[in-house]
Structure 1
Amino acid sequence: MISNQKLNILNDPIYGFITIPDTIIFELIEDPLFQRLRRITQMGLSYLVYPGANHTRFHHALGCMHLMQKAIQVLRFKGVNITAKEEEALHIAILLHDIGHGPFSHAMENSIIEGVSHEEISLLFMQYLNEKFNGRLTLAIQIFKGNHNKKFLCQLISGQLDMDRLDYLKRDSFYAGTPEGNINSERLITMLNVADNELVVEEKGVYSVEKFIVARRFMYWQVYLHKTSIVAEQILTNILVRAKELIKQGKTLKASSSLIFFLTKKIYKSTIDKELILKFSELDDFDIIAAVKEWKNCDDFVLSNLCKMLLNRNLLKIKVKDKPFSDHALNTKLQKVMQKYKLSKDEASFFSFRGTITNLAYSDSKQKIFLLTQKGKVTDITAVSDQINSKVLTNEITKNYLCYPKTKD
């Protein structure tokens, strides 16, 4: 056990001073599993478009915890009953909500361990830490899984207006230098309340919610789904796929022991155990970058050139449009690559491929944002806000892309 004298005050560029509320939070932050988040970039490869976007999951997790402290304070002031144990559990759950992210965050989701989301890995990490901390995380895990009878506690962790979204939009827009994505998270938290066990927003906060949803739409299309980021992430994914293929064929590739472990083994969700989770915790962005720097000298044309593209930001060309690209359009690009570099169709497919991206600013199918009127009535925000009721914000928008090498036609 540590003394209260060690409870630090951290200086954050977004909120100013962030206080660590108690010893359990301090000890969790000090744990190697959490310290690893210093080596996981928050926005994946977005720094190839926005040079300032180099902040980490460590920054984000601390920011979320800070906002959770503010939310608890506001709700208690308004008469909402949150016990001391629930308060601690909320701090723990939001602090650890992203602890399961792999290298480059979303850019490599399902690339290291196929078919398992970062939320599922976060839960496994939390269960491991719960054993380490003698069951202290049990309530936090219950809230994280959405199983607590106080529904609003779960919504603070995962919902339309959770502390995760309130931090990452504000933080990411700051580091990317895109003020259009900035939101007033403090005002949104001030407007929160609870009615019928649901997290609601007081009616006077409707315009802040509108700004939040519009900012979220902007950040996805302009930043998270920027076409250069998309093609860079696909190249990185293809690098891992090609490396696995070569190793399976018997080729020796240099990389960290942790990365080699996951490149050489087929892992299923049902076979994930404590040992494998700890092995996963040894992976971070540095393993991937070190491997890419090594593999650029590989004698395999595909792997070598993919690595050089990523390292030198000499990326594939990408076209994005509303309608799907035809088989003919893709095959034309594939044939050009095959002829120019004497590659098979499978090899050429690492350089010419198509896919889709989707964006949904506000989804009212699973969870809605409810407003609490001055008369105490709870209503769906779409019934009040014409802007949020717009199909542009409430319908899932799908766009199609086609990637291929930059060549002179």
Structure 2
Amino acid sequence: MNKKKIFNDPVYGFITVPSDLIFDIIEHPFFQRLRRIKQLGLTEMVYPGALHTRFHHALGAMHLMDTALSTLKSKNNEIFDNELEASLIAILLHDIGHGPFSHALETAIFKNVYHESLSLHIMHMLNKAFEGRLTLAINIFKGTYERKFFHQLVSSQLDVDRLDYLNRDSFYTGVYEGKIGADRIIKMLDIANDKLVVEEKAIYSIENFLVSRRLMYWQVYLHKTVISAENMVLRVVQRARQLLQQGVEVDTSPNLKFFLSSDLTMADFERDSSILERFVGLDDHDVWSGIKLWASHPDFILSYLANSILNRRLFKVVISSKPIEKDLLLGISELVQEHYKVAEEDVHYLMISGTISNNAYQVEGQSIDVLTKSGYVIDVAEASDLPNIRALGNKVEKYYVCYPKEVAH
């Protein structure tokens, strides 16, 4: 069988599957599940074109990893074939542990199980299935491999994950201000002292990358309507969980019911392999089919939220740069209780408050390093002659409250 397949990607053109092992991983049911998980959760409620999946993103990130490693090899950095293949597998599988609706439901389906831990767990399971051929990929993913720059390409402030999702999310949302010069950035990569660096002439491309990232967060990922939609889906699933755990009958798929009926930990996954089998049977369709069923449930809160989501009657959102006054929150809470005849302990399902934050570059921690023409390695914030990059490191926090539009105040 010919396993040197080609995918036609709308962002990059043709993407080649470079090895038989990578083809077999892509063909595995664990990876095929990513076709059924949207990359941007509920963002399609605002940007109708945002229908791309984690499958798209994983392939795109693998393509950029391949391009980056080819660039590094062309600059006389020794990269062995097994390291190249392992790096491609590490980035291909970096999101394999995402559940339905990606980040939006991470805390609703589980209490303290995060997608990074599940990704690693699934990689270990795949490693068993492929007789240990993923060991190096796992070490690169974890950052335990001795050549650290491979891990930086998978996870850092300038990794191929970010380069792909900014390019791809910009393309599918039509928010072209978020488009980055990924090709130029990759062509400017090099290695110095076993660390990933960018050549000095790429400073303005890095600056554009960070500005685009900040813009995409405010305009797409943290768009106020997206915040409303994702919080409503979070609350409807939390309500289903609460009712199930109280013994109320709530129709849903068997796998989703299993996870909502119990509070599982990562230790449970490691102890019982059947739990993982249930998890990899979960995708966005389980949640959507649940929401459709819940729209006719006798519980008012569950049915109200489900109907509102299905018909895009999204909550009003108020965003403020200062903490929202307690009197205002109390007033909205009282109006919600009065209007919908809900108990005070249930108001949080219909009045949702929280914070959002955005900083495009973390000045503290793992830096983006620039290799100067004179051979020195310095932080990009120090190398740039413009104040933008340091300013982009400032964390901006905003406060929000969402509630039904029927509630006037």
Instruction: Identify whether the pair has TM-score above 0.5, normalized to the shorter chain.
Output: yes
Moved more, 84-93 or 388-397: 388-397
**One-letter amino acid matched to 1:317:** K
* Separation of aligned partners in 2, 1:386 and 1:272: 50
Contact 1:61 1:96 in 2 (8 A): yes
Which residue matches 1:328?
327
Structure 1, unpaired ranges of 5+: none
Contact 2:33 2:280 in 1 (8 A): yes
* Separation of aligned partners in 2, 1:123 and 1:90: 14
* Separation of aligned partners in 2, 1:386 and 1:115: 43
Which residue matches 2:296?
297
Identity of aligned residues (%): 49
Which residue matches 2:183?
186
Residues 327-360 of structure 1: per-residue CA shift (max 9 Å, x gap): 2211111100111121101222211121000111
Structure 2, unpaired ranges of 5+: none
SS in 1 for 2:108: coil
**One-letter amino acid matched to 2:150:** L
* Separation of aligned partners in 1, 2:195 and 2:267: 34
Which residue matches 1:148?
145
Written as runs of structure 1 = structure 2, the 5 A alignment for 1:3-402 is 3=1, 5-273=2-270, 274-387=273-386, 390=389, 392-402=391-401
* Separation of aligned partners in 2, 1:331 and 1:269: 37
* Separation of aligned partners in 2, 1:388 and 1:32: 48
Consecutive aligned runs of 4 or more in structure 1 exceeding 3 Å deviation: 386-392
* Separation of aligned partners in 2, 1:72 and 1:388: 31
Offset of 1:389 from its aligned partner? 5.0
SS in 2 for 1:111: helix
Residue 105 and residue 387 in structure 1: after superposition, are their counterparts in 2 closer, same or farther (change >3 A)?
farther
* Separation of aligned partners in 2, 1:391 and 1:114: 36
Contact 2:15 2:63 in 1 (8 A): yes
Offset of 1:366 from its aligned partner? 1.7
* Separation of aligned partners in 2, 1:335 and 1:89: 56
Residues 263-293 of structure 1: per-residue CA shift (max 9 Å, x gap): 1111122222322122111100000000000
SS in 2 for 1:367: coil
The answer to whether structure 1 residue 405 and structure 2 residue 404 are counterparts is: yes
Aligned residues: 406
SS in 1 for 2:349: coil
Contact 1:325 1:401 in 2 (8 A): yes
Residues 97-137 of structure 1: per-residue CA shift (max 9 Å, x gap): 00100101111122212222211110001000000000000
Residues 184-220 of structure 1: per-residue CA shift (max 9 Å, x gap): 1111100000001110000111111000000000000
* Separation of aligned partners in 2, 1:64 and 1:268: 29
* Separation of aligned partners in 2, 1:124 and 1:286: 23
**One-letter amino acid matched to 2:246:** Q
Contact 1:321 1:401 in 2 (8 A): yes
TM-score with structure 1 length normalisation? 0.97
Offset of 1:6 from its aligned partner? 2.8
* Separation of aligned partners in 2, 1:85 and 1:326: 57
Contact 2:295 2:307 in 1 (8 A): yes
**One-letter amino acid matched to 2:363:** D
* Separation of aligned partners in 1, 2:196 and 2:387: 18
Moved more, 29-38 or 262-271: 262-271
SS in 2 for 1:379: strand
Superposed CA RMSD: 1.1
Offset of 1:390 from its aligned partner? 4.9
Residues 371-396 of structure 1: per-residue CA shift (max 9 Å, x gap): 11122111111112144655540011
* Separation of aligned partners in 1, 2:387 and 2:168: 23
